[in-house]
Amino acid sequence: MTTPTVTRQTFDEVMVPVFSPAPFVPDRAEGSRVWDTDGREYIDFACGIAVTSLGHGHPELLKVLDEQGRKLWHIGNGYTNE
């Protein structure tokens, strides 16, 4: 497995304790599944904002994100865009 650059100890030292973090460090995800730095698999019941409906790394979403990222990624609220 990969060696994490952020460990539970370093996370706890630098992050504001708003939530009680999971007892593992996520390494990668696909669909509704997440794997930790030790290779253990979990079902992502906590998920983030877009993950709830889209899942992690959906191929079609990655395609359109890549297309948009090559066009215009982000601008401030002072602009009107498509």
pTM greater than 0.75 (yes/no): no
Higher pLDDT, 41 or 82: 41
Which residues constitute the domain of residue 63?
Answer: 8-71
Q: Evaluate whether residue 77 is within a structural domain.
A: no
Buried b / exposed e over 41-60, threshold 16 CB at 10 Å, is eeebeebeeebeeebbeeee
In a 10 Å sphere around its CB, with 0-12 CB exposed, 13-18 middle and 19+ buried, how is residue 72 labelled? exposed
Q: Evaluate whether residue 79 is within a structural domain.
A: no
Q: What is the pLDDT of residue 2?
A: 66
pLDDT tens digit string along 19-75? 777 888 899 999 999 999 999 999 998 887 777 778 898 999 899 999 999 998 888
Name the domain count of the chain: 1
The CATH number of residue 55's host domain is 3.90.1150.10
